[in-house]
Amino acid sequence: MSRPFSSGVYVSRGVALLLAALTAVLLLVLVALASLYGSCVHVQPSEQGNSRVKNTSLWPPGGQEWALPTPAQEPTVGTSQDLGPPSGPWDHLRLPPWLVPLHYDLELWPWLQPDKLSPPNLTFTGRVNIIVHCTVATSRLLLHSFLLNYKQVEVWGPLAPDTRNATVGRMPVENVWFAPDMQFMVLDLGQSLEPGSRYELSFHFSGQVLQVGLEGLFLNLYHDEDELRALVATQMEPTFARHVFPCFDEPALKATFNITVIHHPGYAALSNMPQLGQSERIDVNGSRWTVTTFHPTPRMPTYLVALVVCDLDHISRTERGKEIRVWARKDDIANGYLDFAANITGPIFSFLEDLFNISYRLPKTDIVALPIFASGAMENWGLLIFDESSLLLEPEDELTEKRAMILSIIAHEVGHQWFGNLVTMSWWNNIWLNEGFASYFELELTNYFYPKVPMNMIFFFTVLHGILGEDHALESRAVSTAVENFTETSEINRLFDLYTYKKGACMAWMLASFLSPHLFINALKSYLETFSYSNAEQDDLWRHIQMAIGEQNAIHLPATVKSIMDSWTHRGGFPIITVNVSTGVVKQEPFYLDKVENQTLLSHNSTWIVPIFWMKNGIPQPLVWLDKSNMMFPGMKLSDSDSDWVILNFNVTGYYRVNYDELGWKKLSRQLEKDPKAIPVINRLQLVSDAFALTKNNYIEIETALDLTKYIAEEDEILVWFEVLLNLINREVIYDVNNYALYPLLKKYLLKRFNSIWNTYSAIIRENVASLQDNYLSLFSLERIFETACWLGLEDCLQLSRELFRKWTAHPETAIPPQIENAVLCSAIALGSDKDWNFLFNLYINTTEEEDESRRRRLVHAMSCSKDPWILNRFMEYAITAVPSNFSETNIIVVVATSEVGRYIAKDFLMDNWVAVTERYGTDWLDALVPVLGRTVSTDQQITELQHFFNTVLEERQRVVVQAKLQAMKTKNLQNKKRIARVVEWLRKNT
């Protein structure tokens, strides 16, 4: 190609024709691209031209310029090339790294007014100016926005380096459009931003306050002081800040925030920081509004931005010079229901400040008890939000485990002020660094305030017990997931599950155990100090722990911390550790639900690096590591002597189950019968839990687990009894299969062993239940002991039930101890008259307040305990004819169907009244009902009968689903029947 002349370019006629053709093609392409971009939002530039001074005295104008945000109104972008824009960064879940937010000036105006509490479409308006740093020359900007409407979008800059307020030019915004699949807002500019420069993005927007669903900015309607009231609050985690204002909604994109809230003068406004000042604003209708501004926040992610606009009352406490306010309904504050929460929060802060030697960085803390908050609790920096049920301690809850529950929930959210708020994970794939460590220190704090309850027992019952029952090799997910595995925003929401919270806490628990608590805390201090106001990956944590190990000589590991912990956090499931006490060989394999003979063929190629604390003959042994599929440990090889025994996972510090060969289990059973106290309580619990779980999943025979219970008459620890009864007396064993040979044998077996524990706790029930208050796990276990005693037919229990029930019916102010209320009511109804049943029924139909829904559920459960078929049938008739519309008791029939007598009554009732039942409740509740009915299915004739019935009343799609469920339950019931036959045979030999 020739160098062009200064006066122009000469082309031949042929070339000219070719250029004309190319131009035509180019025009067609541009037209096509324009249509591909779809309904692009056209946003008017500011009427002030290039001036950056905006008149806000009457802003927003109100009226018709603000369209209500609905999914249909937000411009949509297709997902295929013929329906959407060409492929680009908007196709990916993560924002491109072109812009880094530094600061937000955010103003929000929720249009809530006391005299208009429930408008059909309560809206909010807002504006935000975002200072960003540009890292790459780009004329296309991406940030997050979802279901927001925009009146004005502007980009200013580059900003002068010395001050934000210098006069600068406005960048031309040529187009604004949305990629709703990834919830992006895209700005196409007329020129590129300069790398290294700062710019200001300015938006005026509106949105809708949610009345159904509690994310983004949402409304609560509630009653207080006999009046209907309302409030608005926010829930931004994990990805809902973009529902409230346009932002860079990723945890690593931290910034500072100046927040302003405009609200009705009758309401208080709360945000992350203390109030800075107030002024007044008048809208176009002449109404006066209060403008509340707040001090700038520290650097934090968008998911921690919070505000509440309410007329709640509060109580105040001061801890180390900082104010803590607890907000709730005026009635609840006046009644003192928030006093415990207010009194415990300050000491929780102080405990963690002293533990980490890092002061809480914000000048104040507000805690708000919302009437309805689906998330349960949220750790927003400086403005913690809870569902009120998690904070209120009413007088009837004083002698329950509710006090400990409130403590643990507050402790969890306060723990986030360090793990999550001060140091934030870089992205959601490592959310366990927030939730797992907050859950772990929840245990520390509970143990601190309840020193009589060993921390390992708290861990076992509140964390380990639940997650080991759900986690397994085939379907569970890893605690830490690779970023590239995420393709949809909804996948982030699903991370807030059992694995993040409970398995994450187990990882922290195991770390603290093999490092030593002192080394563990020192490493965390270093981690928190280094990454304060910043973000971290789990590798950053491993590096700081490794540094702490390198600074001492007492703790030695077989591999780097990263290698050890990656073997646990990067894969699902957990290992089962099996020791052969005849050879001393220990092996590991993945734990499966319902193990089959060839299951090992599915095993992972890699292994866990397993820390094993162990005990031999009552003496704790040094830690050993299992970092291969099998290894020999000579000390674990045992002689033939009955006094020679070994137990692995001493103190239950490791995240795994333990299996033994036949000889190993026999030695442990004999030791329990000989001297159970030689084995610590936590390991007696572990033995029962592991053995029955391994039995259920086909690793060992049921007889092996049953042998461990022979000693139970000598067991005086209620928590071990709880675990034994949980596995021996449950619906799968007792109610679900027609094998009544089990009843008399199991009762006889337990009665011989039950008297001692019953005598201890029946005396406590009669004399002073409050004496258990300092050991809330005993309170938690008390109901199981009581209902078992009555089920066994112990006359003392039956008499005590009648006595407590009669006193209560005669004098309702004489409350039944709440720990055993359900068991007492059930026993009294099962043994009582129809007069007793009618007493509860009258209470039920006269309990209509929304706050008492839990009481109605308790009453329904008690009434379903009746042994009279005609009463249960009448109760179910009431459920389909007369339940008030404001009751949510769609479960009456289901509850009746779960009872010992009612399961057969319910089946016949449904077959006879199907039309009336479905007219009342529809068929959506069938999923809950089919498993209940399926418990009665153990023969082909029974399944055929149910299938024939459902074939006549259900649609084709529902029939297929129901039949599959019934067939699966039949298979399960037949398996249980075989299992129970073996239990019966064992009981015959040992009773």
Each residue's pLDDT tens digit, 544-580 = 999 999 999 999 999 999 999 999 999 999 999 999 9
Q: pTM here?
A: 0.89
Q: Which overall architecture, per CATH, does domain 91-311 show?
A: Sandwich (2.60)
Question: By mean pLDDT, which of 331-340, 707-716, 976-985 is the weakest?
Answer: 976-985
Q: Do domains 91-311 and 418-570 have the same CATH topology?
A: no
Instruction: Say yes or no: domain 575-710 is CATH 1.10.357.10.
Output: no
Q: What percent of the chain has pLDDT over 70?
A: 87
Selection from 310, 312, 313, 316 nearest residue 292 by Cα: 310
Mean pLDDT of 181-209: 97
Question: By mean pLDDT, which of 154-163, 514-523, 633-642, 710-719 is the weakest?
Answer: 154-163
Report, in angstroms and rounded to the nearest whole number, the Rg of the chain calculated over CA atoms.
Answer: 33
d(CA 902, CA 896): 5
> Does 204 appear as a known binding residue?
no
What secondary structure does DSSP assign to 457-526, as a single string? Answer: HHHIIIIIHHHHTT--TTTPPPSS--GGG--SHHHHHTTSSHIIIIIHHHHHHHHHHHH-HHHHHHHHHH
The catalytic site residues sit at: 413
Residue-wise over 75-94: b if at least 16 C-beta within 10 A, else e? bbbeeeeeebbeeebbbbbe
pLDDT of residue 898: 83
List, in sequence order, every residue forming a beta bridge with 280; answer none if it has no partner: 290
The distance from CA 291 to its chain's CA centroid, rounded to whole angstroms, is: 35
Selection from 388, 365, 128 nearest residue 261 by Cα: 128
Q: What is the pLDDT of residues 244-285, one digit of tens each?
A: 999 999 999 999 999 999 999 999 999 999 999 999 999 999
Instruction: Fill in the DSSP letter of residue 199.
Output: E
Q: How many residues does the chain have?
A: 991
What SS3 state is found at 130? strand
Selection from 492, 429, 454 nearest residue 683 by Cα: 454
d(CA 349, CA 337): 21
d(CA 627, CA 564): 9
Per domain, the residue ranges of the chain are 91-311, 418-570, 575-710
Question: By mean pLDDT, which of 207-221, 380-394, 729-743, 792-806 is the weakest?
Answer: 729-743
d(CA 450, CA 457): 12
> Does 416 appear as a known binding residue?
yes
Label residue 336 by pLDDT band (50, 70, 90). Answer: very high
Label residue 288 by pLDDT band (50, 70, 90). Answer: very high
Kindly tell me if the per-residue pLDDT of 887 is higher than 80. no
Q: What is the pLDDT of residues 441-480, one digit of tens each?
A: 999 999 999 999 999 999 999 999 999 999 988 778 999 9
The residue that leads in pLDDT, 150 or 815, is 150
Kindly tell me if the per-residue pLDDT of 424 is higher than 50. yes
Question: By mean pLDDT, which of 24-28, 350-354, 367-371 is the weakest?
Answer: 24-28
Q: What is the pLDDT of residues 123-150, one digit of tens each?
A: 999 999 999 999 999 999 999 999 999 9
Mean residue pLDDT across the chain:
87
Question: By mean pLDDT, which of 52-66, 753-767, 784-798 is the weakest?
Answer: 52-66
Kindly tell me if the per-residue pLDDT of 418 is higher than 90. yes
Q: What is the pLDDT of residues 91-113, one digit of tens each?
A: 999 999 999 999 999 999 999 99
Mean pLDDT of 368-391: 96
> Does 853 appear as a known binding residue?
no
d(CA 650, CA 683): 7
Q: CA of 959: how far to CAs of 920, 946, 953, 954, 967, in Å? A: 20, 11, 9, 6, 12
What is the greatest pairwise CA distance in the chain? 114
Q: Which overall architecture, per CATH, does domain 418-570 show?
A: Orthogonal Bundle (1.10)
What secondary structure does DSSP assign to 682-726, as a single string? Answer: HHHHHHHHHHHHHHHTTSS-HHHHHHTTTTGGG---HHHHHHHHH
Kindly tell me if the per-residue pLDDT of 380 is higher than 60. yes
Kindly tell me if the per-residue pLDDT of 40 is higher than 50. no
